[in-house]
Amino acid sequence: MMLYFNWRKLKKFIKSDYSDNGINGKDRGYTHQEIKTILEYSDQRLKTAFLVLASTGMRVGALQTIRIGDLEKIDNLYKIIVYAGDNEEYFSFTTPECAKEIDSYLDYRTRRGEKITQDSCLFVRKFSSKTQVKGLPFKGKSLWAILEQGISNTGLREINHGNPLLGTQISMVLKMRAKKQNKFYKNCLTK
C-alpha cells in the first residue's frame, strides 16, 4: 500500500523557512503566566469565560451555546455538556478554580436582578440594574470579539485578522493619504 501526501496542503500547517508560511506555526496555546495576566485584566464575566475555555479546552464558538442546564456540579467542579443535543455533543470538566469562578459569576448576576433558570445562558451580555431585560444571550461572534478585545487589552499577543489594513496600520495609511492630499492642494494653490 502506497501513501501519497499532498505536500502543498501540508506545508500550510508547518512553519518553515522553506514553506514560505509566515502565519501558521505562530499560533499556540497560552502559558500559565499569560492566562494569569489575562485574568488580572479581565472583569468577572471575561475571567469566568477565559477560565472555562482554559480548563475545558472547548472552542470559543461553543461557549455561547452553554446553558445553565448543561452544568452539573460534582464536588468542587462542574461537568459541562458541550453542544448539548447535537451530534457533536460531548462533556468536559472544569477545574475547581473555574467552578468557583462560575459560582461567583452566577451569584453576581443574581444579585444584579437576573432570574437565572435552567434555560439561561451561562454567558450573557452586560446589563445594569436599570436594564429591563436581563440575561440576553450573545449573538453571532460578539462573545468572540469581547474575548479577543480582552486579550488585546493585556498586550500579550498581537491579534492578526489576516487583513494588513486593520488596527493601527489603517490609521497610518489614512494619515499618509491626508498628507499627500494636503501636499497636492498646497501645490495647486501655489501655482
pLDDT tens figures, 69-80:
999 999 999 999
Q: Which pLDDT score, from 0 to 100, does residue 150 have?
A: 84
Q: Which pLDDT score, from 0 to 100, does residue 79 have?
A: 95
User: Average model confidence (pLDDT) for the chain?
Assistant: 76
Domain identity same for 177 and 154:
no
Q: Which domain holds residue 189?
A: 163-191
Structural domain count, the chain:
2
Q: How many CB atoms are closer than 10 A to CB 133?
A: 8
Q: Which pLDDT score, from 0 to 100, does residue 188 have?
A: 53
Q: Given a cut of 70, is residue 33 above it in pLDDT?
A: yes
Domain identity same for 150 and 171:
no
Domain identity same for 98 and 44:
yes
Strand pairing category for 71-74 and 90-93: unpaired
pLDDT tens figures, 138-150:
777 888 888 888 8
Instruction: Flag whether 177 is in a domain.
Output: yes
Instruction: Flag whether 178 is in a domain.
Output: yes
Instruction: Flag whether 20 is in a domain.
Output: no
Highest mean pLDDT among 16-25, 37-46, 92-101: 92-101
The sheet with strand 90-93 has its strands ordered as 71-74, 77-82, 90-93
Domain identity same for 92 and 170:
no
Q: Which pLDDT score, from 0 to 100, does residue 158 have?
A: 59
Instruction: Flag whether 47 is in a domain.
Output: yes
CA 113 to chain centre: 26
Q: Which range (17-21, 155-159, 187-191) has the least confidence?
A: 17-21
- C-alpha closest to that of 80 among 142, 111, 123, 37: 123
pLDDT average, residue stretch 168-178: 50
Q: Write the CATH number for 85.
A: 1.10.443.10
Domain identity same for 54 and 143:
yes
Q: Given a cut of 50, is residue 156 above it in pLDDT?
A: yes
Instruction: Flag whether 10 is in a domain.
Output: no
- C-alpha closest to that of 72 among 82, 58, 62: 82
Q: Given a cut of 80, is residue 136 above it in pLDDT?
A: no
